[in-house]
Amino acid sequence: AQSVAQPEDQVNVAEGNPLTVKCTYSVSGNPYLFWYVQYPNRGLQFLLKYITGDNLVKGSYGFEAEFNKSQTSFHLKKPSALVSDSALYFCAVRPLNYGGSQGNLIFGKGTKLSVKP
């Protein structure tokens, strides 16, 4: 079965320190990969995506992610965390060989990021 794993329910980081939110996936073919952020009682905001090309993708608010095909990972990173980065982060994939589905995203369970001053 196709799936996305975010192994950490919560990540705690001190402000100013680098942060990493992990994501691995298990899908057929070469998927499109996404990161979204969700603030309380809000929809999802797009951060970045990987379609093809350079494995290091830069996105909104200083976030970046590195696509690693051999490890089937797409970890989200930021060199210096801000308190305002505290939110729920979702990794998602769209399998290109998605069979009977109609191009919907498959989501990880989400990782709560907490940045302390």
In the complex, the smallest distance separating the C-beta of residue 21 from other proteins, rounded to whole angstroms, is 14
Exposed/middle/buried for residue 5 (C-beta within 10 Å: 0-12, 13-18, 19+): middle
Nearest CB to other proteins, comparing residues 46 and 79: 46
In the complex, the smallest distance separating the C-beta of residue 105 from other proteins, rounded to whole angstroms, is 6
In the complex, the smallest distance separating the C-beta of residue 9 from other proteins, rounded to whole angstroms, is 9
The token pair that represents 48 in the structure block:
């970045």
Place of tokens 């494995």: 55
In the complex, the smallest distance separating the C-beta of residue 93 from other proteins, rounded to whole angstroms, is 11
Place of tokens 């009977």: 100
The token pair that represents 3 in the structure block:
């799936």
Nearest CB to other proteins, comparing residues 15 and 107: 107
- CA separation for the pair 4, 22 (Å, rounded): 11
Residues that bind other proteins (CB under 8 A): 32, 34, 36, 41-46, 49, 51, 90, 92, 94, 101-105, 107-110
Radius of gyration of the chain (CA): 14
